[in-house]
Structure 1
Amino acid sequence: MLQPYSMTRYDTTSHSIDPNPAVAILNCAPFWRRFGFRCGRHVWIVKDICGIICCVITYMLILYATFVVMCVIMPTSHGSWLNFVNGLIFYVFAALAFASHVRTVVTDPGAIPRGNATDENIRKLGLRDGQVVFKCPKCVSIKPERAHHCSVCRRCIKKMDHHCPWVNNCVGENNQKYFVLFTMYICLMSFHALYMAINKFITCATSDWRECSNYSAPATTIFLIILLFEALLFAMFTAIMFGTQMSSICSDETGIEQLKSENPTWEKKSWWLSLKAVFGHPFSFKWFSPFHIPVVGKDQVYLYNV
Structure 2
Amino acid sequence: MKLRLHFVVDPMGWLCISMVFGIWLYNTFFIPKLVLLPHYNEGHIPWAIVVCYYIASGLCLAALFRASTADPGRLPVDPKIPHSEREHWELCNKCNLMRPKRSHHCSRCGHCVRKMDHHCPWINNCVGEDNHWLFLQLCFYTQVLSLFTLVLDFCQYYYFQPLTGLDQEKFTTHHELALMRVSTLMGLMMFGGMSSLFYTQMAGILSDTTTIEKMAQFSNEVYGSKKSWQWALTEVCGTRWKLLWLIPLRNRQPIQASHHFRTHV
Flag whether TM exceeds 0.5 (same fold): yes
Q: CA deviation at 1:253?
A: 0.8
Q: 1:37 to 1:163 in 2, by over 3 A?
A: same
- Residue 249 of structure 1: aligned partner: 205
1:50-69 deviations in Å (ceiling 9; x for gaps): 11111111111111101112
Q: Determine which structure has the larger helix proportion and give its number.
A: 2
Q: State the alpha-carbon separation in 1 of the partners of residues 97 and 172 from structure 2.
A: 61
The structure 1 residue matched to 2:217, chosen from 261, 285, 296, is: 261
Q: 1:74 to 1:269 in 2, by over 3 A?
A: same
CA contact (8 A) 2:17 2:123 kept: yes
Q: 1:247 to 1:125 in 2, by over 3 A?
A: same
Q: Which runs of 5+ in 2 are unaligned?
A: 257-265
Provide TM-score, normalisation by structure 2: 0.86
SS in 2 for 1:143: strand
Partner AA of 1:140 in structure 2: N
Q: Which runs of 5+ in 1 are unaligned?
A: 1-32, 299-306
SS in 2 for 1:276: helix
Partner AA of 1:111 in structure 2: R
Partner AA of 2:6 in structure 1: W
Q: CA deviation at 1:132?
A: 8.0
Q: State the alpha-carbon separation in 2 of the partners of residues 272 and 155 from structure 1.
A: 31
Q: 1:37 to 1:80 in 2, by over 3 A?
A: farther
Q: State the alpha-carbon separation in 2 of the partners of residues 216 and 272 from structure 1.
A: 47
Q: 1:126 to 1:211 in 2, by over 3 A?
A: closer
CA contact (8 A) 2:119 2:126 kept: yes
- Residue 229 of structure 1: aligned partner: 185
Which residues in structure 2 correspond to 1:3-82 (within 5 Å)? 37-38=3-4, 43-77=5-39, 80=43, 82=45
Q: CA deviation at 1:75?
A: 3.3
Residue 284 in 1 paired to residue 242 in 2? Answer: yes
Provide TM-score, normalisation by structure 1: 0.75
Q: State the alpha-carbon separation in 2 of the partners of residues 231 and 89 from structure 1.
A: 17
Q: CA deviation at 1:227?
A: 0.4
Q: Between 148-157 and 131-140, report the one with greater CA deviation.
A: 131-140
Q: State the alpha-carbon separation in 1 of the partners of residues 233 and 252 from structure 2.
A: 11
Q: CA deviation at 1:288?
A: 0.5
The structure 1 residue matched to 2:126, chosen from 167, 170, 173, is: 170
CA contact (8 A) 1:209 1:217 kept: no
Partner AA of 1:37 in structure 2: L
Q: 1:202 to 1:132 in 2, by over 3 A?
A: closer
CA contact (8 A) 1:210 1:216 kept: no
Q: CA deviation at 1:139?
A: 1.4
The structure 2 residue matched to 1:99, chosen from 54, 58, 62, is: 62
Partner AA of 2:179 in structure 1: F
Residue 239 in 1 paired to residue 195 in 2? Answer: yes
Partner AA of 1:266 in structure 2: Y
Q: Between 240-249 and 68-77, report the one with greater CA deviation.
A: 68-77
CA contact (8 A) 2:68 2:123 kept: yes
SS in 2 for 1:222: helix
1:100-159 deviations in Å (ceiling 9; x for gaps): 111111111011124x38xxx56x53578xx58421121121121111111101111111
Residue 195 in 1 paired to residue 151 in 2? Answer: yes
Larger Rg: 1
Q: 1:203 to 1:81 in 2, by over 3 A?
A: closer
SS in 2 for 1:77: helix
1:214-234 deviations in Å (ceiling 9; x for gaps): 656550001100000011110
The structure 2 residue matched to 1:148, chosen from 67, 91, 104, is: 104
